[in-house]
């Protein structure tokens, strides 16, 4: 299957972020911990030059804990603050404030030398669709936050949310679509649900996912579906259909239904904690 992206507003989103980036001190970027590189937009590194950076490995509860640690080390080595979080449950959210102070300490110190005390750090949250950005903002901001109104020099309509005395969030967060020429990137995005499932072919997506899982976590297929991990992806999908009693009329295996179950099991973590993207020479 050809995985393709249709970014209707990519140029508009990029322009909006370019405009907003001048107003902020810090870029907080959410990525999916299961595919930390594929779920990034490479433009963010260029747009965020000269700004403090934080990477949040969201949905880290669904990712392999061993690889979570390796990805934390990978991004930290690039000079970014990094945290494992789960924006849905709130895991790791309380640690963000301390990390903000740490990555922005030079800016805070510079302000202090100029006699500017208690000026909050201004941050922008960015991420691709379905990476959990809205959930994160709601969890991070909570109910106690107050909009502080338009700042001088800020385009009319932009609002700042004061999270606490040390941090303000621009409430027009950047949504950037990933650009990919590599079909593997598109495929991984389809696995986690960042592409519209309606434009995908379920059994082909499921077979691609089985291929990735059997390479990295073969036991998971055996344990959940009693499938032989040595088999071809289509044979494993048939085993999924049999184990879950997915039959259509005439007692034929319903591979489309089985595909949906398999994909849902992966996305919800029922297959176990998995990281489908590894650090290799291409990432270094």
Rounded to 5°, the CA angle 257-276-35 comes to 105
Please state, in angstroms and rounded to a whole number, the distance separating the CA atoms of residues 208 and 234. Answer: 10
Is 135 annotated to bind a ligand? Reply is yes
Is 134 annotated to bind a ligand? Reply is yes
Is 164 annotated to bind a ligand? Reply is no
Is 130 annotated to bind a ligand? Reply is yes
Is 58 annotated to bind a ligand? Reply is yes
Six-digit token string for 34? 């299961």
Q: What is the dihedral of CA 204, 209, 214, 219, to 10 degrees?
A: -120
Please state, in angstroms and rounded to a whole number, the distance separating the CA atoms of residues 8 and 12. Answer: 9
Please state, in angstroms and rounded to a whole number, the distance separating the CA atoms of residues 242 and 219. Answer: 18
Strand ranges in the chain using DSSP code E only, listed in sequence order: 26-32, 52-58, 81-84, 121-127, 146-147, 160-164, 167-170, 174-175
Six-digit token string for 245? 């009693």
Is 133 annotated to bind a ligand? Reply is yes
Rg value, the chain, Cα? 21
Is 165 annotated to bind a ligand? Reply is no
Is 59 annotated to bind a ligand? Reply is yes
Percent of the chain as helix, strand, coil, to the nearest 5: 45, 15, 40
Please state, in angstroms and rounded to a whole number, the distance separating the CA atoms of residues 257 and 202. Answer: 9
Q: Which residues are CB-contacts of 43 (< 8 A; sequence separation ≥ 6)? A: 14, 17, 176, 179
Numbered residues of the known binding site: 58-61, 86-87, 130-135, 174
Numbered residues of the known binding site for GTP: 58-61, 86-87, 130-135, 174
């Amino acid at each position: 299957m050809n995985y393709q992206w249709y970014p209707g507003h990519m140029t508009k989103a990029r322009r909006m972020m370019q405009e907003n980036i001048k107003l902020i001190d810090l870029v907080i970027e959410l990525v999916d911990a299961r595919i930390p590189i594929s779920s990034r937009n490479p433009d963010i590194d260029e747009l965020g030059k000269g700004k403090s950076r934080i990477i949040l490995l969201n949905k880290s509860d669904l990712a392999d804990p061993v690889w979570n640690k390796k990805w934390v080390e990978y991004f930290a080595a690039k000079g970014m603050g990094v945290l494992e979080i789960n924006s849905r449950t709130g895991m790791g959210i309380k640690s963000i404030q301390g990390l903000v102070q740490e990555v922005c300490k030079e800016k805070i110190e510079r302000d202090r030398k100029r006699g500017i005390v208690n000026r909050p750090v201004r941050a922008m949250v960015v991420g691709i669709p379905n990476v959990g950005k809205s959930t994160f903002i709601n969890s991070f901001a909570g109910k106690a936050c107050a909009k502080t109104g338009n700042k001088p020099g800020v385009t009319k309509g932009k609002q700042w949310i004061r999270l606490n005395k040390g941090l303000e969030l621009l409430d027009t967060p950047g949504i950037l679509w990933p650009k990919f020429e590599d079909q593997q990137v598109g495929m991984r995005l389809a696995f986690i649900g960042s592409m519209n499932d309606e434009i995908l072919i379920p059994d082909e997506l499921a077979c691609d996912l089985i291929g990735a899982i059997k390479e990295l976590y073969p036991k998971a297929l055996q344990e959940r579906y009693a499938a032989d991990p040595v088999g071809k992806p289509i044979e494993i999908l048939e085993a999924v259909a049999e184990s879950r009693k997915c039959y259509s009329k005439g007692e034929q295996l319903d591979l489309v239904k089985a595909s949906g179950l398999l994909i849902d099991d992966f996305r919800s973590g029922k297959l176990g904690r998995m990281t489908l993207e590894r650090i290799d020479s291409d990432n270094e």
